[in-house]
Chain A
Amino acid sequence: MNLEKIKSDIEAAVPGCNVQIVVNGSPSGQHSLLLERQHVFEIAKFLQDDSELHLDYCSNVTGVDWLDTETSEKVKVQRLVDGVEQEVEEIRKTRSPGYLEAVYHLYSMEKKHGPLVLRQRTENRTDQINLPSLTPIWRSAEFQEREIFDLYGIIFEGHPDLRRILMWDEFEDHPMRKDYIEPNDYEYEPTPHDAVLEKSMQH
């Protein structure tokens, strides 16, 4: 699929939207489109209705958790050392906040082409974790978005029935997140020791 063309088509059809192409480094060559959350719904509607693309089938919906990343680089700085100005190497750290991501794989059953990969990202991993739901457009996203809500904690706005699907309703955490710590209920281990004890210290 020609992503450049799809991108310009989308930008022509939905005014004011900003679509980015996310390059995929693997030999699979499945590059994706990153959408802004304000326009996701209109773009999805366009992709479904457009006579040329006609992506009527949403195959796979999934979440990805990207943790906060810390990149460090060496910078040369002028500084006074023992009264003499010298060039010193210093490590500067930059933190970029993590986010949760929802990935959609779209195909067309009529035109028999695909996949077109869409991504939408939340602002951060803690409080701004709402994304628009695409279940009203593709029903196949219904259970899969529920699963993302359950396991990653993304709140899908406009989902008809957003409940936990695999974990029980009283469960509080989101187990697929990368920083999830398993609960401290070692029923089989009356006296925790070694690795188990270390793990239980984390709580």
Chain B
Amino acid sequence: MMKKHTWLKYSWLMVTMLFGMIIFNTTTAQADTKEPHYVIATDTTYAPFEFQGQNGQYVGIDMDMLRAIAKKEHFTYKLVPIAFNSGAQGVLSGQFDAIIAGMTITPEREQVYDFGTPYYKTGIIAAVSPKSNITDLKQLRGKTVALKTGTGSAQYALSIQKKYGFKVTYFNDSNTMYNAVALGNAAAAFEDDPVMKYAIKNGVKLKIITQPANGGEYGFAVKKGQNKELLAKFNAGYAAIKKDGTYDKIVAKYLGSNESKFAGSAKENDSILGLLKQNKDQFISGVIKTLQLTVFGIIFATIFGVLIGVLAVVPNKFAYGLSSTIIYIFRGLPLLVLAFFIYIGLPSLTGTKIPAIVAGLITLTLNEGAYIAAFVAGGLKNVDAGQMEAARSLGLPYWKAMRKIIMPQGIKLMIPSFVNQFIITLKDTSILSAIGIIELTQTGTVIISRNMQGFRVWFIVALMYLIIITLLTFLAKWVDKKFSSN
């Protein structure tokens, strides 16, 4: 009995320690400063307000402005680029202190956010493919219009949907939305005027067919009633940079008509090698993030899965029930839903922030772990019952028999399933881009948002996944061989 408990305790200790190490790492990275420190969300892809520059740093009107204001007002911040909708919700759940993401001030939003001084006047336009013969919103009747989830433009489009009779489809980032229109999958897109102009200037094949409508203003937002100090600093800083001309310089830098192509030279964009060279650092950091998620995800999921899988075969109804319930829930939930629930849902309930990478790892552990648990339970059940009887008849306690006799035979049966699950885990890490982890897939999105080279960049990303999967498969085969020869 003693032995059984120490074994379980030991495994559990390891899991908590590893998780702890990751949390500890991310928190120490942001501490150690006398100036107030904030976590500020922004969109991953919203040029010219925020997008990744060629050196990997985030640039754009919002970004440059925030940097100038922080400097003037003496605060530091950690920037979290994340899909707009997740970022906006993350502020409400306490995950982030504020968001700056070309966010239109609306009465609905003012009920839950406090906005700073409006810093940019905008309007919403509709754009179509240059080949399209649509010149007026009236021609959209019965056609599908592309919108970006949770944006002011989407809201505006919905408000006129009845009048013009179009259907809508939603996308999570601008670039995918533009491509849907450029490729003819949607007839038109609604977008903020400056954003669309910037995109067109950088080579997006769209044309604007309307005047800016429903003029709105962008604001810096915090959760209503919270972070008053940060909001005050933003307003003071904004007033200062407006006065000394910094603000105008920033806007001119991104939208000035005399500005030439912003997205790097055509030569570099035209070849895969050129793209690779130009974005080398970003790709490397994306691959590293993907590998980290995969490796740690596999380790935690395996520990969790084996524990839960073993629980399913012990002769105890409660353990069996617990195990089946866990498998049922976490295998049943889509990975994306689970990730959003842990990253955005849980903090709203508990009030504790979870770093995205930790939320991502917990998601992988639970989801992949549930699959592992299912085949571990199956594998152990497939070991002949006589094996357990023989071991017990010699006087071996249950857990010792499990470990020395049943597990080694069961694991051998499970190895192909493990290899399969590891490959699935690697691929599933791409889903975690949705909670703002800049892994390989998100790196692709981010690079495309700057250079609009969709086909070539996705080709590179796909190739990288294949290379990693090939290496992982080799490794798994090698482990399998080692195991079988023993």
Tell me if chain B binds chain A.
no
